[in-house]
Amino acid sequence: MSIADLDRIRAQAVEAIAASADLEALEQQRVSLLGKKGSVTALMKELGGMGPDERRAAGQALNVLKDAVAAALDARKAVLDAVALDERLARERVDVTLTVRPEQLGRIHPISQTIDEVVAIFGQMGFAVAEGPDIEDDFHNFTALNFPPGHPARLMHDTFFLPEKPDGSRLLLRTHTSPVQVRTMLKQKPPIRVIIPGRTYRCDSDMTHTPMFHQVEGLVIDHSTNMAHLKGCLIEFVKTYFEVDEVPVRFRPSFFPFTEPSAEVDIGCSRAGGELKIGAGADWLEILGCGMVHPNVLRNCGIDPSEYQGFAFGMGIERIAMLKYGIPDLRTFFESDLRWLRHYGFVPLDVPTLTGGLAR
């Protein structure tokens, strides 16, 4: 092979490389030149049959050829990569100035919507939102809330327990949002005014119970907070949430270990003609439990009951969502049926506010 041969081969190779129209054609060029069976590779193999002097000269010339080919390949690849990127950017262009098409964003689940509404209403009254863990210990879920060990009220909670730990204690899935009352009082001094939305768990499953459900808890503690404040606050909530001017509300004596006195709250409704209407009517519907925080609970949380007092309430989110939005079956909330969600779901970005409207 003469130097002139090599120059010619190089010129042809560089020209062919520069003419490659796309990355695939370029790759073919690379294989046919530098690949295992490529033409430059074949020339390199000839070096083996040469004498030492001849091999040195030819070797140098061949290396120059190989470097030139490799450089040409790199240069062309950079050009073609840039072209490919430009094409892709043009193809995947997104017009961010287009108006939002909400249907592409899916729907807000009625549980989320209801929590947002409740938070908006109590937020307006000056309540802050507090949260706690789903996995609780016995102290926060029961003992601090004045359920003594062995108290029959514990059994009514159908608790899911985690496996026993070496010390014999068992964590559990919280059976209500009330443990977050305890957590709040332990870390925050009165005055306290919080609502606590969250998931709760009980080992129960039928038409009206699911093993996981949601509650929202309320807690107010101050020097002279009393039952009248509790009633006023809840009546105001019920009217705002159900978007009616007048709702008959009934406080029925009840029992919870952590409140004294305790009450359950019913709201008036009518079922005339098979249609449920919230407001004046012949029937009552239970919607929540409440009461004045038991002095033992305050004491367990390091708050002096001779100085402070307050009220608490707890309400089922699914229940008030079913009542407001006419959802007949509790279990459908958790079936993830898209047709159900499209029907009962809410438009995203329409965040509930008292001024802008709660639900759309």
Binding interface with ligand PHE (CB under 6 A): 176, 178, 217, 256, 259, 289-291, 312-314
CB of 145 to ligand PHE, least distance (A): 8
CB 178 to ligand PHE: min, Å: 4
Residue closer to ligand PHE, measured from CB, 26 or 173: 173
* Nearest CB to ligand PHE, comparing residues 70 and 285: 285
Which residue lies nearest ligand PHE, judged by its C-beta?
A: 314
CB of 110 to ligand PHE, least distance (A): 20
Q: Which is nearer to ligand PHE, 65 or 180 (CB)?
A: 180
Q: Which of 256, 286, 280 is nearest to 268 (CA)?
A: 280
| DSSP-assigned letter for residue 54 | H
Q: Fill in the amino acid letter for 313.
A: F
Q: How far is the CB of 291 from ligand PHE (least distance, A)?
A: 5
Question: 172: Cβ–Cβ under 8 A, 6 or more apart, which residues?
Answer: 135, 136, 137, 138, 141, 159, 160, 161, 162
Residue whose CB is less far from ligand PHE, 291 or 352: 291
CB of 275 to ligand PHE, least distance (A): 29
CB of 305 to ligand PHE, least distance (A): 16
What 3 state SS string does 156-222 have?
A: CCCCCECCCCCCCCCCEECCCCCHHHHHHHHHCCCCEEEEEEEEEECCCCECCECCEEEEEEEEEEE
Residue 10 makes CB contacts below 8 A (sequence gap 6+) with: 65, 68, 69
Of 48, 24, 27, 47, the residue nearest 38 (C-alpha): 27
Rg, the chain, Cα only: 37
Q: Give strand pairing partners of 293.
A: 259
Cβ nearer to ligand PHE, comparing 108 with 322: 322
Q: Give the nearer residue to ligand PHE in terms of CB position, either 289 or 352.
A: 289
Neighbours of 17 (CB within 10 A): 23
